[in-house]
C-alpha cells in the first residue's frame, strides 16, 4: 500500500491523500485552503478522475470536501460519504462559490455532477473496489463526520480526517474499535495545546449570558453555522436559559439538514427541543425587532467575516449593556481576531472601540493534545504514523513526541511525499 500526500502537509487546509492499493486508487478527501487576505485559495496536488477508483470524503468542512467538484470538470468518479456529509458539502461548496472573490476551477454544474455520482454509505458499511476494502467510522468532529479505514493485501490504513475523540453535546465520541493498524495518518491541529474541559467552558458561557440578560442587554454569539451554532443553542437551552435565543443565517439551513439525520446525533431529542425553541430570523425587519429586548443572537460568521454578523456588530457593539461571545477559532487577519486583540471593529472604514463586553470561549471541534495522545495509546499494532493537518511546528513536535513515547516510526510528511507500508 502506497500513500501520496497531496496536501494538509504542515498546514491546516487542502487535505488530500492518494492511496494506491496494488493498482486500485482511492482519494481520501480533496479540500481547499483559503488564502490569507487578498491571496487566492490553494488546492491539493492535481489528480485526474480517470486515474481514480473512488473518492471518499471524511466530512463536509471545505478543507476536506471543497475541491471534490474539480474532479467532475472533464470526467467523473464515484464519491463516497455519509448522507449528512453530502448534504452539508453541497451547502458549503455552493456558499463558497457564491461568496469567494476568486474563481474556482469549477462551478455549480460540477457540484451537481458530484452529487449525481454520490454514493451514500453509513458507518461500518464495508465497500470493496478492486483490491481494496474501505469503511467509515464515527469521528466525533461534525455531524456525519468520519474517519476512514482502508484494507488491502493484509495492510490496514487508518486516516483520522478531523477528530474530536470525546465528541460533544451533539455528537457521540470517536469510534476507536478498529483493530490493528499498519499506517496511521492523524490530524495534528491542537497537538501543542491543552483545552479546558468542555463543561467548564459551557458554564462560563451560561454565566456570561445570564450576566448580560441581567443588565437587559443582548448577547451576540458569532458562530460557525455548522454545528457550533446548534451546540451553543443546546448548551443555553439545557441550562434553563429563560430568554429568547435567535438563530440567523446559514445556521438555519444546517438545522434543517441536522433534523433530516437524527441517527447521526448523540441525543436527537435534546437537539430538537433546543432548536425548536429558538427563534429563526430570516428577514431584515425581524432582525431589527429581535434585538429590541434582551436575547441571545447566534449568527455566522464565526470570525465576523461578512454575513449578518456585520449588522449585529454595528447594532450591538457600542452599548456597554451588551456582550459579544466569540466561540469559534479566530484566524489571523480576521475581524474577530482584531476585536479580540485591539477591542476595535471597523465600521464604514473607521476603527471604533467596542464598549460591549467581549469574551472568548473555547468550543473546539478538534481533539486537544491530551485527547490526541489518548487516541494514539488506544491504537493497536505498531503503525507507521504520519502527522498532518497542523502548522509545521505542531506536525513536527507531534511526530517527535509520538516516537519518543511509543517508539513508533513517525514522520511529518511534505506535499508530494510518498509513504509505503
Name the DSSP letter for residue 53: S
Task: Please give the Cα distance from 413 to 367 (Å, whole number).
Answer: 21
Q: Which is nearer to Zn ion, 4 or 64 (CB)?
A: 64
Count of Cβ atoms closer than 10 Å to residue 284 Cβ = 10
Please choose, from the candidates 192, 200, 308, 196, the residue with its C-alpha nearest in 3D space to the C-alpha of residue 249.
Answer: 308
For residues 32 and 14, the answer to whether their CB atoms sit within 8 Å is: yes
For residues 57 and 405, what is the distance between their CA atoms, to the nearest angstrom?
31
Separation of alpha carbons 292 and 286, rounded Å: 10
Q: How far apart are CA 107 and CA 105, in angstroms?
A: 7
CB of 322 to Zn ion, least distance (A): 31
Least Å from the CB of residue 22 to Zn ion: 29
Determine the 3-state secondary structure of 192 from DSSP: coil
Binding-residue pattern over the window 310 to 349 for Zn ion, x denoting contact by CB under 5 A: ----------------------------------------
Element (H or E) spanning 270, and its range? Answer: helix 268-277
- Written as nine digits, the cell of 32 is 481547499
CB-nearer residue toward Zn ion: 17 or 241: 17
Between 61 and 237, CB nearer to Zn ion: 61
In the complex, minimum distance from the CB of residue 292 to Zn ion, in angstroms, rounded to a whole number: 36
Q: Closest approach of Cβ 162 to Zn ion, in Å? A: 4
C-beta closer to Zn ion: residue 151 or 162 = 162
Indicate the residue among 139 and 152 with the shorter CB distance to Zn ion. Answer: 139
CA distance 391 to 393: 6
Measure the CA–CA gap between 20 and 1, rounded to whole angstroms.
6
Site map (CB under 5 A) of Zn ion, residues 158-197, x = contact: ----x-----------------------------------
Closest approach of Cβ 249 to Zn ion, in Å? 19
| Minimum separation from the CB atom of position 15 to Zn ion (A) | 6
Q: Where are the beta strands (DSSP E) in 117-251?
A: 118-120, 127-129, 132-138, 146-152, 155-159, 183-187, 218-222, 244-248
Give min distance, CB of 161 to Zn ion, in A: 7
Nearer to Zn ion, 61 or 137 (CB): 61
To Zn ion, the closest distance from the beta carbon of 327 in angstroms equals: 16
Q: Examine residue 396 and tell whether it contacts Zn ion (CB under 5 A).
A: no
Closer to Zn ion by Cβ: residue 33 or 212: 33
What is the x/- site pattern for Zn ion, positions 146-165, by CB under 5 A? ----------------x---
Q: Whose Cβ is closer to Zn ion: residue 168's or residue 308's? A: 168
Cα-based angle 155, 397, 326 (whole degrees, multiple of 5): 105
x-or-dash string of contact with Zn ion, 52-71, rule CB under 5 A: ---------x-x--------
Taking CB under 5 A as the criterion, which residues in 253-272 touch Zn ion?
Answer: none
Q: How far apart are CA 89 and CA 30, in angstroms?
A: 12
Report in angstroms how near the CB of residue 79 gets to Zn ion at its nearest.
18
Torsion sign (Cα): 16, 17, 20, 21: negative
Q: Which is nearer to Zn ion, 61 or 156 (CB)?
A: 61
Applying CB under 5 A, the site for Zn ion has a residue count of 3
CA distances from 76 to 17, 51, 54, 72 (A): 18, 10, 9, 5
Residue 50 C-beta: closest distance to Zn ion, Å: 27
- What is the Cα–Cα distance from 385 to 191, expressed in whole angstroms? 14
Residues near Zn ion, by CB under 5 A: 61, 63, 162
Amino acid at each position: 500500500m502506497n500513500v501520496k500526500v497531496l496536501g494538509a502537509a504542515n498546514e491546516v487546509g487542502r487535505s488530500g491523500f492518494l492511496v494506491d492499493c496494488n493498482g486500485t486508487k482511492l482519494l481520501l478527501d480533496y479540500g481547499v485552503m483559503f488564502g490569507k487576505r487578498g491571496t487566492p485559495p490553494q488546492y491539493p496536488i492535481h489528480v485526474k478522475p480517470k486515474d481514480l477508483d473512488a473518492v471518499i470524503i471524511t466530512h463536509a468542512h471545505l478543507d476536506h470536501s471543497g475541491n471534490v467538484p474539480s474532479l467532475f470538470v472533464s470526467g467523473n468518479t464515484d464519491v463516497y460519504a455519509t448522507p449528512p456529509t453530502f448534504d452539508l458539502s453541497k451547502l458549503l461548496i455552493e456558499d463558497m462559490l457564491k461568496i469567494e472573490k476568486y474563481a474556482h476551477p469549477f462551478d455549480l454544474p460540477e457540484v451537481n455532477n458530484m452529487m449525481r455520482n454520490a454514493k451514500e454509505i453509513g458507518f461500518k458499511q464495508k465497500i470493496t473496489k478492486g483490491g481494496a476494502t474501505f469503511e467509515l467510522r464515527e469521528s466525533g468532529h461534525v455531524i456525519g463526520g468520519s474517519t476512514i479505514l482502508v484494507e488491502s493485501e493484509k495492510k490496514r490504513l487508518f486516516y483520522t480526517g478531523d477528530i474530536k475523540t470525546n465528541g460533544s453535546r451533539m455528537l457521540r465520541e470517536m469510534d476507536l474499535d478498529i483493530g490493528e493498524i499498519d499506517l496511521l495518518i492523524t490530524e495534528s491541529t491542537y497537538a501543542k495545546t491543552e483545552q479546558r474541559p468542555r463543561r467548564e467552558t459551557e458554564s462560563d458561557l451560561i454565566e456570561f449570558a445570564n450576566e448580560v440578560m441581567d443588565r437587559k442587554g443582548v448577547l451576540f454569539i458569532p458562530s460557525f453555522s455548522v454545528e457550533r451554532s446548534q451546540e451553543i443553542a443546546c448548551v443555553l437551552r439545557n441550562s434553563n436559559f429563560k430568554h429568547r435565543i435567535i438563530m440567523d443565517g446559514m445556521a438555519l439551513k444546517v438545522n434543517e439538514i441536522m433534523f433530516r439525520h437524527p441517527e447521526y446525533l448523540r441525543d436527537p431529542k435534546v437537539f430538537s427541543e433546543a432548536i425548536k425553541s429558538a427563534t429563526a430570523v430570516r428577514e431584515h425587519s425581524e432582525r431589527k425587532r429581535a434585538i429590541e429586548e434582551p436575547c441571545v443572537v447566534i449568527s455566522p460568521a464565526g470570525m465576523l467575516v461578512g454575513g449578518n454578523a456585520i449588522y449585529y456588530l454595528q447594532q450591538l457593539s457600542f452599548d456597554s449593556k451588551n456582550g459579544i461571545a466569540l466561540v469559534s477559532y479566530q484566524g489571523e487577519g480576521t475581524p474577530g481576531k482584531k476585536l479580540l486583540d485591539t477591542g476595535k471593529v471597523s465600521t464604514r472604514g473607521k476603527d471604533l472601540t467596542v464598549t460591549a463586553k467581549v469574551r472568548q470561549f473555547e468550543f473546539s471541534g478538534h481533539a486537544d493534545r491530551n485527547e490526541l495522545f489518548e487516541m494514539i495509546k488506544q491504537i493497536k499494532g505498531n503503525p507507521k504514523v504520519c502527522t498532518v493537518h497542523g502548522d509545521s511546528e505542531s506536525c513536527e513536535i507531534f511526530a517527535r513526541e509520538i516516537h519518543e513515547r511509543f517508539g513508533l516510526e513517525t514522520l511529518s510528511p511534505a506535499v508530494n511525499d510518498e509513504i509505503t507500508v
